[in-house]
Amino acid sequence: MSEKRDLLKDRLGSNYDAFCEALMEAHEGLTFEQCLRMDARLILILASQIGDPEILSQALAAARRNAK
């Protein structure tokens, strides 16, 4: 079983701005529906890389809390 992690901790550090820029550029020229599909696919790819169901469950809960 995994330890509980601080999901809000910034692990990108100095790469944060570059990632945000790349993410915004990836959405350029896409329709809203295409953006939603791309985001869903990105989430699934990252979830596959994380691979830990407990961390993924914590991430879903944190994202939902911050969405309201």
- DSSP string computed for 15-53: GHHHHHHHHHHHHTT--HHHHHHHHHHHHHHHHHHH--H
Q: Write down the domain spans for the chain.
A: 30-68
Averaged pLDDT for residues 6-33:
91
Confidence band for 4, pLDDT divided at 50, 70 and 90: low
Q: Write the burial class of residue 59 (CB in 10 Å: 0-12 exposed, 13-18 middle, 19+ buried).
A: middle
pLDDT at 1 over 50: no
pLDDT at 52 over 50: yes
Do residues 15 and 68 lie in contact, with contact meaning Cβ atoms separated by under 8 Å? no
